[in-house]
Amino acid sequence: MTRLLIPGALVAVPVLVALLGPLFAADDPAKDVAFLLGDGHLFGTDFVGRDVLDEVLRGGRSLVLAAVSATACTYLLAVPLGLLAGTTRSRFLDEVLMRPLDLLLAIPSMLMLLLLAALAPGDPRVLVAVVVLINLPDVVRITRAAALSLSARPAVEAMRLQGEHRARIAVGYVARAMRRTLAADLGTRFTGAIYLVASASFLGVGISPQAADWAAMVDRNRTGLFLQPWAVVLPALLIIALSVGANLLFDRWLRRSDTTFLEAR
């Protein structure tokens, strides 16, 4: 339990700030001198004189919700597709499912974000959709590779000979057996989603120009880093804590699963 305290705290702090922060932020924040330290501002002011703490309280929800939504949607779409491709005995169906995803792999992620910046710069739903499209091929391929390996086991062949339904084999046995593989990938995929959403915010994609956003704060205030570092450091630390904490939590869970499995044997 103690091993979960640090990663749990790393995740809990940015998530709580993102979800509950707007409740404590000022409705109509006043402006002061740009890049001001102190003078009634706990973490100073940003590049236009807004209170940094107030901007941080209001700026995390968009990034956290976009990253979580994109990761969840990716797995909800990718896992069934990968299972179907990995457990089917139809080469034609496998090709139909996998070849369009190979085309998506050929498109650089930054190029897709730049195209999004031109087509729909202020719509967070489109941003989530693009992050899903970027991550979808990789997760489908990982799921398919794991499913192919598991489908070749004697237990699966025995279930087929006994007349078990294909869906029952795929969901009841193959999907359950690959849980650890998907959990190991999930932490990395969530970090990648945070990176993509943050990169999009740097480009002004998915948020309005005046909206508070942690990633946008890092970009907008970088010119005053040596004058007022908190305007950059505070949102950057929250993004890093969320990313590192999520990976540590999944890593701890995987180690605990290994220990439980060995003890059971």
Instruction: Give 56: exposed, middle or buried? Use CB within 10 Å, 0-12, 13-18, 19+.
Output: buried
Give the integer Cα–Cα distance in Å for 197 and 215: 8
Tokens representing 162 are 């006994």
Q: Is residue 253 part of a domain?
A: no
The mean of the pLDDT values for the chain is 82
pLDDT band (50, 70, 90) for residue 222: confident
Domain that holds residue 169: 18-239
Quick one: pLDDT band at residue 263, thresholds 50, 70, 90? very low
pLDDT per residue over 147-158, tens digit each?
A: 888 887 777 777
Average pLDDT of the residues in 131-136: 90
Asked if the model's pLDDT at residue 204 lies above 80, the reply is no
- The pLDDT of residue 237: 94
Nearest CA among 30, 27, 33 for reference residue 47: 33
15-19, 93-97, 121-125, 144-148: which has the minimum mean pLDDT?
A: 121-125
In a domain, 261, yes or no: no
214 inside domain: yes
**pLDDT tens by residue, 28-45:** 777 788 888 877 788 888
Cβ count near 155 (within 10 Å): 11
Could you give the CA distance from residue 51 to residue 34 in angstroms, rounded to a whole number? 9
Q: Angle, nearest 10°, between helix axes 61-87 and 124-151?
A: 30
Is there a domain that residue 78 lies in? yes
| DSSP string over 101-134 | HHHHHTS-HHHHHHHHHHH-TT-HHHHHHHHHHH
The whole-number average pLDDT for the span 112-118 is: 73
Does residue 213 belong to any structural domain of this protein? yes
Residue pLDDT, tens place only, 55-102: 999 988 888 998 999 999 999 999 999 888 888 877 888 888 888 888
Give the pLDDT confidence score for residue 199 in this predicted structure. 79
- Domain annotation covers residue 198: yes
What was the pLDDT predicted at 257? Answer: 60
* HEC per residue, 38-87: ECCECCCECCCCCEHHHHHHHHCHHHHHHHHHHHHHHHHHHHHHHHHHHH
Residue 255 lies in a domain: no
CATH number, domain of 128, equals 1.10.3720.10
Mean predicted confidence (pLDDT) in 201-217: 75
Q: Which two tokens stand for residue 137?
A: 């091929």
* Total of domains in the chain: 1
Residue 218 domain-assigned (yes or no)? yes
State the angle between helix axes of 179-202 and 124-151 in degrees (0 to 180), rounded to the nearest 10. Answer: 160
